[in-house]
Amino acid sequence: MNLKRVVVTGIGALTPIGNTADEFWTGLINGVSGAAPITRFDASLFKTQFACEVKNLDIEQFIDRKEARKMDPFTQYAMISVEEAMNDAGFDLEKINKSRAGVIWGSGIGGLKTFQDEVTYFASGDGTPRFNPFFIPKMIADISAGFISIKYGFRGPNFVTVSACASATNALIDAFNYIRLGKADIFISGGSEAAVTEAGIGGFNAMKALSQRNDSPETASRPFDKDRDGFVLGEGAGALILEEYEHAKARGAKIYAELVGGGMSADAYHITAPHPEGLGASTVMEQALEDAGLEPEAIDYINVHGTSTPLGDVGETKAIGKVFGEHAHKLNISSTKSMTGHLLGAAGAIEAIASILAIRNGIVPPTINHFTDDESFDPELNLTFNTAQKREINYALSNTFGFGGHNCSVIFKKYN
């Protein structure tokens, strides 16, 4: 079978360091931290009192107030990022075969705030069941894809992937496969998350997953640093327009990059801890390389999962060493979570955008907040500490790994 080529023709980002793709990129290359004390609620009694929140956002600039009330924040974030990506792609919606245009979105948790608020309201009453009629439609993770398809009239495949922190990358791979198999021409794909709530912070605190560096939030996300003490919770969304190459070419579309390979694997090890030797991580990178028809030496940059957890960062670098051998020392490697925090199910989308813009601009975003070397890591790895680095990038690989041992990798190619 002759597989179709798949290109990226539009991007949109709503992140803790910028509310558009351009602002996001500027924040990345300047090493801006999105972490600050929580403003969503009084976090004074929580072990972690900070997060990477979306800032200076007026929802009603993008979504009618009445419509917004039907949406959990994770869906609102999705709609805003998708609107930017669709405008960027420059479609004439009257000329699209909408039966061959679909939406595959990702969210690890979905409407957490809606669930928390409704159950809290019920529990505070006299036991009489009183629930908002939009409770279920606002909460369920798939509703984000539903709202997107309704807005643009896309009648092709429509669903949401849920694989914890790998969700958005799973969505991208699914969309990629539908297009290259000839089953669709266009997909809106990506992911969104809005878990900066009492339940989100409290739940991850109970797992001891979050940094508790309350005295210095802006330096708390420090992947690969000896003193890392957990991830920083983030929120937001990233949207990518994936399009069959000939379809994009025929309409004169701007092309950011080509998506050439994807891999999916499982650690089959533990519900939250990664495999200590990075077994699932090495498998998924090998799969992505095989899918793209590439040797390891072709990769120039890896946007790592790199969450700033004691175990996760070690396992991922071991996997890179296993897959890339000596070439690992010639790579640029960075964790943009050091700036954005961890957007959970949306992480793969904004990190795919970071990888694409790194290719397009010939700049590797840094891993900020590096203060103390950790002897657990190969000292010859270029982890792009603290300062962005210029280099030509022909191929970039992006990793996302989720609780439950879900692993995904995607590879983007420079478009000439």
Quick check: is 52 catalytic?
no
Which of the following is catalytic: 165, 166, 356, 393?
A: 165
Q: Distance between CA 389 and CA 356 in Å, rounded?
A: 15
Q: DSSP labels for 127-171?
A: S-----TTHHHHHSTTHHHHHHHHHHT--S-EEEE-BTBTHHHHH
- The CATH code of domain 7-250 reads 3.40.47.10
What DSSP designation does 55 have? -
Q: Is the pLDDT of residue 227 over 90?
A: yes
Q: What is the pLDDT of residue 270?
A: 94
Residue 214 pLDDT > 90, yes or no? yes
Cα separation, 35 vs 216, in Å, equals 9
> pLDDT tens digit string along 93-133?
999 999 999 999 999 999 999 999 999 999 999 989 999 99
Residue 201 has pLDDT above 90, yes or no: yes
Q: Decide if 7-250 and 264-404 have a common fold.
A: yes
Closest CA relative to residue 243, chosen from 6, 4, 1: 6
Q: Which helix (H) or strand (E) holds 314?
A: helix 310-324
The answer to whether residue 276 scores a pLDDT higher than 90 is: no
Q: How high is the pLDDT of residue 318?
A: 96
- Percent pLDDT > 90 in the chain is 97
1 pLDDT exceeds 90? no
Indicate the average pLDDT of the chain: 97
Answer yes or no: CATH 3.40.50.970 is held by domain 264-404: no
What is the Cα gyration radius of the chain? Answer: 20
> Which residues of 204-295 form beta strands (DSSP E)?
236-244, 257-266
Residue type, 385: F
Q: What is the pLDDT of residues 287-304, one digit of tens each?
A: 999 999 999 999 999 999
Confidence of residue 405 (pLDDT cuts 50, 70, 90): very high
Would you list the domain boundaries of the chain? 7-250, 264-404
pLDDT band (50, 70, 90) for residue 39: very high
Please name the helix (run of DSSP H) or strand (run of DSSP E) that holds residue 74, with its range, or none.
Answer: helix 73-89
Q: How far apart are CA 102 and CA 36, in angstroms?
A: 37
Chain centroid offset of residue 328 CA: 24
**By percentage, how much of the chain surpasses pLDDT 70?**
100
| Structure confidence at residue 416 as a pLDDT band (50, 70, 90) | confident
